[in-house]
Structure 1
């Protein structure tokens, strides 16, 4: 072990403080998982680079097509989405683009932004329940019952408060079907999602179609991602829309825009106006 007392520190101890398989770097040399960065620049797409950095291997062309489709589909859903609204409000408070993006991404949590991660967990649980004794329909019934017992009645990835049919989901599922035909994915998780959709519709007496969160969860499940990465990749996707809206708001101007237009007030449910008691 070599020691370096420059600055009173131990260079070996400093080197061992962090361990990573992702990047190796020294003066005049940068490699990502063994590949020199100059060999990747101009040869690897941004989507391929995302997958390579996160997963550790380069995706096949078919896999990269699915990853890109999932990322493109989630970039924006308008200022009615809390993350986008927060980005725009932040800019009217005098913030910078990075502050607006950080503020917006930070609200992509369990309810707004977390359904994809939850759907991956649900799909994986149901797929694991499927075996020689339990068919996919039975596994879905078991899995949905277990989900509701643990988390309540809302099933992530299905239905939408704004769209009767989420226009993004059928397109994504069509791409999954194409990838299954070419052998890039198995199609098992797509089958799980379709069976859940069927059972939810039968129980409600009306269609409860797959939404964007469920469709991207199918893609990420088919590609073998653990559930938490589903949310992480959604954050990357939505950050594109967040940046676009923050920049647009900066160019439009405006000062101190809150969640309600000027002249609109919230509902007050407290005490009516009353005099302060004299002492």
Structure 2
């Protein structure tokens, strides 16, 4: 049986006890066969199961990271693997090759998306303070892009968004 030298190591991600293993509060029995790969990675990173929309977007991000030809990140990982490096080192080498031209577009897109979420939350908070109700409870005109799972609010109570 493996024993840790330092038993003071703690994590909030996994709880291990005799005959019980939980990840972020979910038992292994709940996870295996019921969680998709994107749901599991999201759970590990965020500490919660993603909503349907978050899962779809996160799955798209994971798929975009799959090898799609001869690009520096995948080439570096392959060269490192051919030299006999351990798989974790090969993956790290590929990830470290990400930059402005390789996987950088995703980083920039996520920065824009995060900024949009911040603006939306700030606008909603301001509306709550001024009008005593959340935008989520107000009739709005929206433009929907179902393939991208995006909704743009065009007018709220007759006032144009800027």
User: SS in structure 2 opposite 1:175?
Assistant: coil
Gaps of 5+ in 1: 1-8, 132-172, 181-186, 192-279
User: 2 CA distance for matches of 1:126 and 1:41?
Assistant: 35
User: 2 CA distance for matches of 1:70 and 1:28?
Assistant: 35
User: 1 CA distance for matches of 2:107 and 2:94?
Assistant: 18
Offset, 1:90:
2.1
Q: From the superposition, tell whether residues 38 and 114 of structure 1 become closer, same or farther in structure 2 (CA, over 3 Å).
A: same
C-alpha contact 1:87 1:103 (8 A) present in aligned 2: yes
Structure 1 position 117 matched with structure 2 position 107? yes
Q: TM-score, normalized by length of structure 2?
A: 0.59
Corresponding residue for residue 88 of structure 1: 78
User: SS in structure 2 opposite 1:59?
Assistant: coil
Q: From the superposition, tell whether residues 126 and 61 of structure 1 become closer, same or farther in structure 2 (CA, over 3 Å).
A: closer
User: 1 CA distance for matches of 2:53 and 2:108?
Assistant: 25
| Length, aligned pairs only | 126
Corresponding residue for residue 3 of structure 2: none
Corresponding residue for residue 253 of structure 1: none
Q: TM-score, normalized by length of structure 1?
A: 0.37
Bigger strand fraction: 2
User: SS in structure 1 opposite 2:147?
Assistant: helix
Partner of residue 64 from structure 2, selected from 61, 73, 94: 73
Corresponding residue for residue 147 of structure 2: 175
User: 2 CA distance for matches of 1:76 and 1:174?
Assistant: 27
Offset, 1:58:
1.6
C-alpha contact 1:66 1:175 (8 A) present in aligned 2: no
Measured against aligned partners, the alpha-carbon deviations of 1:128-184 in whole angstroms (never above 9, x if no partner) come to 2996xxxxxxxxxxxxxxxxxxxxxxxxxxxxxxxxxxxxxxxxx7632xx34xxxx
Offset, 1:82:
0.6
Corresponding residue for residue 159 of structure 2: none
Bigger helix fraction: 1
Q: From the superposition, tell whether residues 74 and 96 of structure 1 become closer, same or farther in structure 2 (CA, over 3 Å).
A: closer
Q: RCO (CA 8 Å, sep 6+): is it higher in 1 or 2?
A: 1
Offset, 1:123:
4.2
Corresponding residue for residue 23 of structure 1: 14
Measured against aligned partners, the alpha-carbon deviations of 1:29-72 in whole angstroms (never above 9, x if no partner) come to 21112221122111111111112222222223343233223322
C-alpha contact 1:47 1:64 (8 A) present in aligned 2: yes
Q: From the superposition, tell whether residues 57 and 188 of structure 1 become closer, same or farther in structure 2 (CA, over 3 Å).
A: farther
Structure 1 position 44 matched with structure 2 position 35? yes
Partner of residue 23 from structure 2, selected from 19, 23, 32: 32
